[in-house]
Amino acid sequence: MFNFSKNITAWIFLSPSLLIHFIVVAIPSVLSLGLCLTDWNGFGKINYIGFENFYELFDDRVFKKAVLHNVIWTVIFLTIPIILSLTTAYLLTGIRRGQLIYRLIFFFPYMLASIISCQIWKYIFHPIHGVGNWLSQYGIDFLEKSPFALKETSLYAVAFVDGWHFWGFLVVVYITGMYQVDHTYYESAELEGATKFQKFWYITLPMIRPIFVFSLMIIIIWSIPTFDYIYILTQGGPAYSSEVLATHLYSQAFDRFNVGYSSAIGTLMFIYVLIIVSIFGILQKMGWNI
């Protein structure tokens, strides 16, 4: 009787969040899977058209660009932020005094709202009020124009801003894992004459592998629905040079009212995430320590 009432109490407390999740996430997700087979524009009658939206997608030049940009985005975040954060976290483990202050400094950008981060960097790269105008006075004119406004640099400039906001989070995650490593391993390695790099490569990295692999998984998954920084800074422009799947979906749904078409984009994004999660699940069942 006690266990029964305890379970009922737990479900009562969970019910508000479950209800909100059901209304805000579950129902729209199921409806989106159905709408991807229609040509609905958000109003009026819904017409079933089968897989025509998907056929059209693979002839869509902007969609192909968006896919390529998402791939580039994923590669960037799987390399630069991870290398920087692993190196910084490992170096911070050797600091005894004031380490909490360093952690706060690195984690602070992640605590900022995306709109605030974007406005900061918009002002920094502003062609008149930013550092570019100041540098041009000394003959350094590579920031004379905002990198957000150039086709060649817009995607990478947004990735830089998002990486600046994100990598401190990885530093805190990695350093937490590194402090779980038994210090006797390092003492034994020192007796054998191992260098710092060897200790990192053969002790630290293998011991934090579950955290490291998990970070890879979330980066791969988060890189697909990335939206806020790109939309705030460039809205996918100029000339689709920073367009990604999420901004293309948004544009189709809310600017052009192609709800069925945008649902098809969302369905492909969902399938991709499902495949990635399934791959990591299979690796875990195969004995990988994930």
Domains of the chain: 36-285 (1.10.3720.10)
pLDDT of residue 4: 57
Cα 158 from Cα 166, distance rounded (Å) = 12
Give every CB contact of residue 55 below 8 A, 6+ residues apart in sequence: none
Q: What is the pLDDT of residues 14-68, one digit of tens each?
A: 888 889 988 888 888 888 888 898 988 878 788 889 899 999 998 999 999 999 9
pLDDT of residue 171: 92
Amino acid identity, position 8: I
- Rounded to 5 degrees, what are φ and ψ at 258? -95, 75
Structure tokens at 177: 């894992």
pLDDT of residue 1: 46
Q: What is the pLDDT of residues 60-106, one digit of tens each?
A: 999 999 999 999 999 999 999 999 999 999 888 878 787 788 888 88
Residue 185 has pLDDT above 80, yes or no: yes
Residue 290 binned pLDDT confidence (cut-offs 50, 70, 90): low
- Beta-bridge mates of residue 38: 48
pLDDT of residue 234: 94
Residue 184 has pLDDT above 80, yes or no: yes
Q: What is the mean pLDDT of residues 142-169?
A: 91
Q: What is the pLDDT of residues 195-224, one digit of tens each?
A: 888 888 888 888 898 899 889 989 999 999
Amino acid identity, position 165: H
- What is the pTM assigned to this prediction? 0.87
pLDDT of residue 2: 47
Structure tokens at 190: 């020192």
Find, among 164, 177, 150, 178, the residue nearest to 77 by Cα.
164
Higher pLDDT, 290 or 53: 53
